[in-house]
């Protein structure tokens, strides 16, 4: 079994300085990044689509200052104008207007989805969440209810079993303005924030679980954010509560007239409070997943639009989700209408457990997963009812490269649990929520490497470098007793800060140890290397000794 230690050298490509340090402000909920020396230089920034190193599951993304080939740039009003971005029915900012239920219920042919997280949560990235139904003269709208924005300090994993994700975002920052940032869950905990250039950043959350940042910085800004999401959010069991738990006042959360219409829809579905909350939600999910995307019938034009859509089970994802929200709030469930550039879904609050994501289907026939590159895809199970129409839609998405949830399937993400147990990084692996730390994978465990572990020291390297520039590297390889290991190959690698796997990095050179065990040489940084902050590794693959990375 390979033993790899953490890297010790952080370098800036086309930058000057040393690694930023995240810390907590003593007088505010800031996530600070302390910069010690140097300035970002402008040379070489014309290569906007430079090759980026492969991602290492669970490792922080690169703090590159170059816009990725398939990456959106965000500002204070959401994504900046981009030719590949087809605007959905609603602004891509939680600060925007309400979303109105409409009659464009036919299937959409093709939409682009832009991934921001590792592992990818396609197609469930949260860009806008709205928590209130507004009704006016037959018009139904989802809206963000006015409320406070709470600062979000850095936190630990917490006690709930949770799964971790890294998000990477490029901003055209405007000083001291709130800028929305995509999220995975309204309950997510912020574990780490890193920026390039290193500047102070505040993270906030509103009452619908929209996240945003604020910084005094003006100009281009890369933000990497690590979050922990409760496992319940993805496929938690919705059972074991009473209506008084859901809504102690036993009242609709809708305006009076809308509530009357919703009661008629609930009667058609066969749901009332004689069912428990769990059976009621499952019956509603089965019903709204059985919608059909087709043109809105002319004969329904004179009726109540919500009632027509819900009673006739017509529409794509946004119709299903907004109509579900109206229906669920009539029963007293706290419900979010959530969407991104390519898909809409809902979230329901379950007492004692937190928010639970529910996909009702209705996505585009073809979804182009732009910026999904080589990310693992997070694929939790789906224990809720899945009618035939819903399964057919899932199959269409599979044909376009998406790994959908499967009945009782396991998480494919970086399933860090609160107790420290660790899931796998592959779709369909264990979900990392076991309390005893037992390996539940059917694959036999890897045989331990019993060879002695040598010592590999990274002694020095040039810290200021441009693309195409030369880095002078020196290290030393010795056996466990301190004797030099002579004539062995030591590899030089360049990878993202926090990376651990040499096979997923850029190999720069092979150096040979001399009669004293030293390796010395000049290595060249590739001209296509993305601008940003990187780590350099020395790696010894082993022979008579076990493999090791520079400590």
Give yes or no: residues 387 and 527 share one domain: no
Edge-to-edge order in the sheet of strand 455-461: 455-461, 470-478, 518-524
> Is the residue at 435 inside a domain?
no
Residue 528, by phi and psi: left (phi above 0), alpha (psi -120 to 50) or beta?
A: alpha
Q: Looking at residues 288-307, what average pLDDT do you find? A: 95
Single out the residue in 358, 383, 399 at which a domain terminates.
Answer: 399
CB 508 within 8 A of CB 524: yes
Mean pLDDT calculated for residue range 245-264: 93
Q: Are strands 162-173 and 219-230 parallel, antiparallel or unpaired?
A: antiparallel
CB atoms within 10 A of CB 223: 25
| 355 shares a domain with 252 | yes
Q: What percent of the chain has pLDDT over 70?
A: 75
Residue 490 near residue 496, CB atoms below 8 Å = no
- Please write the tens of the pLDDT for every residue from 66-76: 888 778 999 99
Task: Looking at the structure, tell me whether residues 313 and 389 fall in a common domain.
Answer: yes
**Residue 489 placed within a domain:** yes
Do both 393 and 467 map to the same domain?
no
Same domain (yes/no): 370, 478: no
Residue 399 makes CB contacts below 8 A (sequence gap 6+) with none
Domain count, the chain: 2
Q: pLDDT digit string (tens) for 282-292?
A: 999 999 999 99
The verdict on residue 139 lying in a domain is yes
Report d(CA 105, CA 300) in Å as an integer.
12
Same structural domain, 389 and 461? no
Whether 462 and 393 share a structural domain: no
pLDDT surpassing 50 at residue 9: no
What is the model's pLDDT at position 430? Answer: 25
Structural domain range at position 141: 110-145+234-399
Domain C-terminal end among 361, 383, 399: 399
Taking only the tens place, the pLDDT of each residue in 430-447 is 222 223 333 333 444 445
Q: Are residue 140 and residue 12 in the same domain, yes or no?
A: no
Pick the more confident residue, 91 or 344.
344
Residue 239: inside a domain: yes
Q: Using the structure block, give the residue that is written with the tokens 């129409």.
A: 389
- Do residue 372 and residue 493 come from a single domain? no
Instruction: Please say if the pLDDT value at position 426 is more than 60.
Output: no
Q: Where are the alpha helices (DSSP H) in 247-383?
A: 256-269, 277-288, 305-312, 317-330
Residue 459 maps to which CATH number? 2.60.40.10
Residue ending a domain, choose from 399, 415, 437: 399
Rounded to an integer, the average pLDDT of 215-224 is 97
Please state the separation of Cα 81 from the chain's center in Å. Answer: 22
What is the structure's pLDDT at 367? 75
Return the structure tokens found at 363. Answer: 């996505």
**Highest mean pLDDT (candidates 252-261, 376-385, 452-461, 479-488):** 252-261
Instruction: Return the number of other C-beta atoms located less than 10 Å from residue 25's C-beta.
Output: 12
Q: Do the domain assignments include residue 24?
A: yes
């Amino acid at each position: 079994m390979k033993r790899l230690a953490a890297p010790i050298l952080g370098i800036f490509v086309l930058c000057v300085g040393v690694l930023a340090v995240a810390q907590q402000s003593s007088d505010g909920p800031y996530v600070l990044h302390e910069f010690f020396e140097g300035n970002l230089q402008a040379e070489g920034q014309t290569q906007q689509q430079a090759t980026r190193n492969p991602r290492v599951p669970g490792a922080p993304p690169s703090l590159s200052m170059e816009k990725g080939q398939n990456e959106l740039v965000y500002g204070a009003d959401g994504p900046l104008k981009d030719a590949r971005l087809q605007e959905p029915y609603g602004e891509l900012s939680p600060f925007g207007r309400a979303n109105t239920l409409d009659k464009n219920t036919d299937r959409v042919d093709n939409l682009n989805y832009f991934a921001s997280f590792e592992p990818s949560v396609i197609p469930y990235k949260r860009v806008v969440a709205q928590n209130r139904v507004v009704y006016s003269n037959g018009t139904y709208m989802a809206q963000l209810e006015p409320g406070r924005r709470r600062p979000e300090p850095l936190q630990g994993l917490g006690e709930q079993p949770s799964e971790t994700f890294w998000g990477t975002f490029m901003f055209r920052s405007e000083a001291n303005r709130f800028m929305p940032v995509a999220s995975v869950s309204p309950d997510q905990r912020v574990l780490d924030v890193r920026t390039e250039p290193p500047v102070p950043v505040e993270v906030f959350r509103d009452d619908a679980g929209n996240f945003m940042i604020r910084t005094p910085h003006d100009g281009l800004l890369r933000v990497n954010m690590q979050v922990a999401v409760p496992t319940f959010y993805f496929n938690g069991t919705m059972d074991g509560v009473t209506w008084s738990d859901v809504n102690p006042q036993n009242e609709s959360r809708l305006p009076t007239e809308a509530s009357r219409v919703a009661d008629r829809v609930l009667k058609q579905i066969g749901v009332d409070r004689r069912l428990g909350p769990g059976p009621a939600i499952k019956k509603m999910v089965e019903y709204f997943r059985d919608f059909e995307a087709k043109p809105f019938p002319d004969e329904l034009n004179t009726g109540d639009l919500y009632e027509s859509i819900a009673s006739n089970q017509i529409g794509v994802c946004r119709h299903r989700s907004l109509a579900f929200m109206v229906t669920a709030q009539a029963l007293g469930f706290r419900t979010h209408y959530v969407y991104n550039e390519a898909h809409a879904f809902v979230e329901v609050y379950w007492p004692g457990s937190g928010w639970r994501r529910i996909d009702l289907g209705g996505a585009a026939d073809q979804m182009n997963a732009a910026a999904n590159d080589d990310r693992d895809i997070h694929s939790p199970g789906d224990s809720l009812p899945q009618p035939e129409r819903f399964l057919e839609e899932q199959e269409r998405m599979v044909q376009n490269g998406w790994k959908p949830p499967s009945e009782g399937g396991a998480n494919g993400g970086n399933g860090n649990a609160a107790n420290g147990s660790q899931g796998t990084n592959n779709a369909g692996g264990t979900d990392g929520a076991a309390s005893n730390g037992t390996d539940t994978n059917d694959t036999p465990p890897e045989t331990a490497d019993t060879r002695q572990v040598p010592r590999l020291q990274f002694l020095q390297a040039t810290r200021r470098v441009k693309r195409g520039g030369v880095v002078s590297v020196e290290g030393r390889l010795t056996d466990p007793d301190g004797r030099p290991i002579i004539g062995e190959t030591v590899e030089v690698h360049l990878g993202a800060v926090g990376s651990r796997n040499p096979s997923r990095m850029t190999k720069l050179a092979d150096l040979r140890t001399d009669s004293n065990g030293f390796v010395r040489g000049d290595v060249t940084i590739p001209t296509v290397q993305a601008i940003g902050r990187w780590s350099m590794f020395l790696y010894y693959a082993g022979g008579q000794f076990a493999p090791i990375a520079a400590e």
